[in-house]
Amino acid sequence: MPEKLRLGIFKFASCDGCQLSLLNAEEELLELAELVEFAHFPEASSRIESGPYDLVLIEGSISTPEDLDRIQQIRRQTDTLVTIGACATAGGIQALRNGANHDEFMKLVYPHPEYVQSLATSTPISNHVSVDFELRGCPVDTGQLLQIISDKLHHRKFSVPDHSVCRDCKLQNIVCVSVARGIPCLGPLTQAGCGAICPRFHRGCYGCFGPCHQTNTDGLTDWLIKDGHSSSQLIPLFLNVNAEAPEFARTAAQLIRQDSAEGESDE
Amino acid sequence: MNDFQYFRMDQFPDFLRQLMHSGYRVIAPTIDQEAIVYAEIQSIDDMPRGYTDEQKPGYYRLQHTGNQRFFDYAVGPHSWKRYLFPPLQLISTSIKSQDGWTFEEHVDEGESYAFLGVRACELAAMRIQDRVFLEGAYVDKNYQNRRKASFIVAVNCAVPSANCFCTSMNTGPKCKSGFDIALTELSDGFLMEIGSSLGNEMVTPLGFPTATEEQLSESESVSDHATEQIKKTMDTTDLRNRLIGQLEHSHWQDVANRCLSCTNCTMVCPTCFCSHVEEVPDLNQERVDRRKSWDSCFNPGFSKLHGTPVRNDTRSRYRQWLTHKLATWHDQFGESGCVGCGRCITWCPVGIDLTVEVAALCEEEP
């Protein structure tokens, strides 16, 4: 029996949902435990082992001064570091504070903001340390998560499909919610991996797996605006869990500019 | 000359029962997710009745007409390739044992499907995929089995959509060959054309009468009326050479500015046949499934060779798709790869209309 893979799972600013995606792999967990030593997984076990780790999965974004140190310490003890989920990969929903007035937000949310140590930005892990692979999604897909662990176990190159959500809709007989119902959908711009779960339930994709490689956000927003949607309606589509993904951030900023220009011309 | 018979609307269930009693699972239009899609039916009550569809570039809406007609709509998001060339196929499995690896090939013997409601453009699409999968050095046995096991009940279009242009591609709206039975919905029943000996065997026990001259002429007027309603056109004159002569046209970039490279057009196209094969291991790497699934030339990874995609932007990917479909398909298979069904226009989430793009691309640049 080869030595078990030492796995560490660490949490930064996040909701724990991506770690739950691993615990949701109920059928595979026992088999996984045969192959992997869960050396650091506080969400699942109070037994905590120190590093070094063969594989570390990072959930969450960097949002406090303490995070800045902790991520460096983890990286130093880690052979292969994989970020899991939109927070760790793109800053998460909490990155909406980036560029806004952080102090004002603090005052609005906390009665005593002076007790809270928080950075003015929420940033992806890759802004701070080198990352070997990024797994997208809010939350990540259990199948992709298991695949990454298996890839590391068997020394395979990390790889996940890079096509859009649309292909997954079509493969599963899901009728396009955008064409047949007029629901704005980010599916054509968004990387697959979720199994097209939102369109399957007749709602538009909200882009939780982040932009596809070479995505054309302008192509979609131009069409939707021509189709009668206003800029202000489209802004929330992009200001979501992947708001800091560069293509979505640029598009949101552009829509905000258009919206304020429209507002001025109305007056 | 094929044999023409007639049955009344109230005999439609008898026709369907005959298909089922002959051992076929009947796949027909049904309503699901606010669209007309192909799925298995048990009775004619499972089929849409009194519905039509409104189609425009990037737009599809189902509409209730309130009449009692079965086939007053054009093609929807599905095509029959879903059944003949399924989107996900398990090709083989490798299992590790103490003696080494064993390899097991999965053969699809072909489900006995009766496809009810196949339109003329879809018959043309089946012929095109037959050429791709069956004619040539490499025969796809699973496709062959599925195709052989299928029984085709075609329907002549009565109400085309605004995105139909089969008349330009010379594929419709009337079914000419490639079916076992072809139906035309008349005011009080169906004209039934028998197109094969298999079709003849199927309907003989039903004892339907030979069609009258009036019924034949009513059927002709249904098809004539459908033809008149088709307004979209594509000029196919020397199209192969005209497109190949425009590979550096600035309009390719104009399309690329709008195209999302999302693959929808290729997924809904009834002739697009690309797939990719991947090995999917289990956690222990003791069982590996080899899976084949639909792929698209719009996926960046599709043209990946030694590390980087050959077609690394949407401009070159759109150009590849359109020139293959309409130009180099002729070189490869001796015909166009487009049947004029209009699905790529309707189901494009940003309404890109290939007939409009082709017209622009064929205009000389100043």
SS3 B91: strand
B268 and B353 in a single domain? The answer is yes
Q: DSSP secondary structure string, B164-186?
A: --HHHHT--SS--SS-SEEEEE-
For residue B261, give both structure tokens. Answer: 């490279």
Instruction: Convert the pLDDT of each residue in A152-194 to its tens digit.
Output: 999 999 999 999 999 999 999 999 999 999 999 999 999 999 9
Tell me whether residue A107 is in a domain.
yes
B258 and B193 in a single domain? The answer is no
User: What is the DSSP code (8-state) at residue B87?
Assistant: S
Query: Which of A27-31, A131-135, B143-147 has the lowest average pLDDT?
Result: A27-31
Percent of the residues in chain A that have a pLDDT greater than 90, as a whole number: 93
B146 and B282 in a single domain? The answer is no
Last residue within a domain, chosen from B229, B258, B286: B229
* Cβ separation B260–A216 shorter than 8 A: yes
Tell me whether residue A159 is in a domain.
no
- Give residues with Cβ within 8 angstroms of B214, minimum separation 6: none
CATH number of the domain to which A62 belongs:
3.40.50.700
B186 and B247 in a single domain? The answer is no
Across chain B, how many H-helices and E-strands are there?
Answer: 14, 15
d(CA A66, CA A63): 8
Over residues B201-228, the mean pLDDT reads 97
A146 and A225 in a single domain? The answer is no
d(CA B186, CA B68): 11
A132 and A177 in a single domain? The answer is no
B88 and B194 in a single domain? The answer is yes
Residue B346: list chain A partners with CB under 8 A: 179
pLDDT for the residue B285:
87
pLDDT for the residue B1:
62
Rg (CA), chain A: 20
pLDDT score of B231 more than 70: yes
Kind and range of the H or E element at B221?
helix B213-229
A126 and A179 in a single domain? The answer is no
Query: Which of A232-236, B306-310, B312-316 has the lowest average pLDDT?
Result: B306-310
> What count of other Cβ atoms lies within 10 Å of the Cβ of residue B99?
6
User: Testing the interface with A: which of B96, B163, B262, B292 to mutate, by most A Cβ within 10 A?
Assistant: B262
For residue B275, give both structure tokens. Answer: 């797939």
A110 and A217 in a single domain? The answer is no
Give B60 to chain A, closest Cα distance, Å: 5
A77 and A129 in a single domain? The answer is yes
B31 and B61 in a single domain? The answer is yes
pLDDT for the residue B346:
98
B170 and B73 in a single domain? The answer is yes
Residue range of the domain that includes A261: 165-266
Residue range of the domain that includes B290: 239-361
A140 and A192 in a single domain? The answer is no
pLDDT for the residue A2:
63
In which residue are the tokens 């095509």 written?
Answer: B79
d(CA B361, CA B243): 7
Kind and range of the H or E element at B250?
none
* Cβ separation A214–B60 shorter than 8 A: no
Tell me whether residue A114 is in a domain.
yes
Tell me whether residue B234 is in a domain.
no
| Banded pLDDT at B2 (limits 50, 70, 90) | confident
d(CA A219, CA B260): 6
B29 and B87 in a single domain? The answer is yes
pLDDT for the residue A267:
60
Please list the alpha-helical segments (H only) found in A24-141.
Answer: 26-35, 65-76, 86-90, 102-109
CA A167 to chain centre: 20
B47 and B141 in a single domain? The answer is yes
A67 and A106 in a single domain? The answer is yes
Last residue within a domain, chosen from A100, A124, A153: A153
B170 and B194 in a single domain? The answer is yes
* Cβ separation A162–B299 shorter than 8 A: yes
Tell me whether residue A160 is in a domain.
no
* Cβ separation B260–A170 shorter than 8 A: no
Q: DSSP secondary structure string, A81-112?
A: EEEESHHHHH--GGGGGTTS-HHHHHHHH-S-
Instruction: Convert the pLDDT of each residue in A230-265 to its tens digit.
Output: 999 999 999 999 999 999 999 999 999 999 998 877
* Cβ separation B284–A176 shorter than 8 A: no
The residue type of A137 is G
B272 and B225 in a single domain? The answer is no
Last residue within a domain, chosen from A123, A153, A183: A153
Over residues B195-199, the mean pLDDT reads 97
Tell me whether residue B366 is in a domain.
no
Q: DSSP secondary structure string, A209-241?
A: T-BPTT--HHHHHHHHHHTT--HHHHHHHHSST
pLDDT for the residue A205:
97
pLDDT for the residue B366:
78
Query: Which of A108-112, B125-129, B178-182 has the lowest average pLDDT?
Result: A108-112
Q: Are B193 and B123 in contact, with CB atoms under 8 Å apart?
A: no
Tell me whether residue A234 is in a domain.
yes
> Domain tally for chain A?
2
d(CA B162, CA B57): 9
A137 and A233 in a single domain? The answer is no
Tell me whether residue A72 is in a domain.
yes
Q: What is the interface pTM, i.e. ipTM, of the complex?
A: 0.96
A69 and A197 in a single domain? The answer is no
Among B268, B349, B351, whose Cβ lies nearest the Cβ of A188?
A: B349
Residue B317: list chain A partners with CB under 8 A: none
> Domain tally for chain B?
2
Tell me whether residue A175 is in a domain.
yes
Last residue within a domain, chosen from A133, A153, A173: A153
Instruction: Convert the pLDDT of each residue in B28-64 to its tens digit.
Output: 999 999 999 999 999 999 999 999 999 999 999 999 9
Q: What is the b/e burial string over B187-200, where b = at least 16 CB atoms within 10 angstroms of the residue's CB?
A: eebbbbbbbbeebe
SS3 B88: strand
Over residues B257-277, the mean pLDDT reads 98
* Cβ separation B88–A171 shorter than 8 A: yes
pLDDT score of B208 more than 90: yes
pLDDT score of A1 more than 70: no
Kind and range of the H or E element at A261?
helix A246-266
Tell me whether residue A182 is in a domain.
yes
Over residues A185-211, the mean pLDDT reads 97
Over residues B271-299, the mean pLDDT reads 95
Instruction: Convert the pLDDT of each residue in B63-122 to its tens digit.
Output: 999 999 999 999 999 999 999 999 999 999 999 999 999 999 999 999 999 999 999 999
Report which of residues A263 and A62 the model is more confident about.
A62
B205 and B140 in a single domain? The answer is yes
Tell me whether residue B201 is in a domain.
yes
Instruction: Convert the pLDDT of each residue in B10-34 to its tens digit.
Output: 999 999 999 999 999 999 999 999 9
pLDDT for the residue A266:
65
For B121, half-sphere exposure in the C-beta direction (CA atoms, 13 angstrom radius) is 27
- Give residues with Cβ within 8 angstroms of B236, minimum separation 6: B168, B169, B170, B336
Write the CA distances from B11 to B16, B17, B44, B162, B208, integer angstroms.
9, 10, 11, 32, 9
A248 and A134 in a single domain? The answer is no
A131 and A39 in a single domain? The answer is yes
> What count of other Cβ atoms lies within 10 Å of the Cβ of residue B215?
22
Write the CA distances from B220 to B184, B215, B225, B226, B284, integer angstroms.
9, 9, 8, 10, 63
* Cβ separation A175–B33 shorter than 8 A: yes
Among B87, B263, B268, whose Cβ lies nearest the Cβ of A163?
A: B263
pLDDT for the residue A3:
81
A67 and A171 in a single domain? The answer is no
Report the DSSP beta bridge partners of residue A82.
A57, A133
CB of B284 within 8 Å of any CB in chain A?
yes
* Cβ separation A176–B78 shorter than 8 A: no
Mean pLDDT (chain B) is: 96
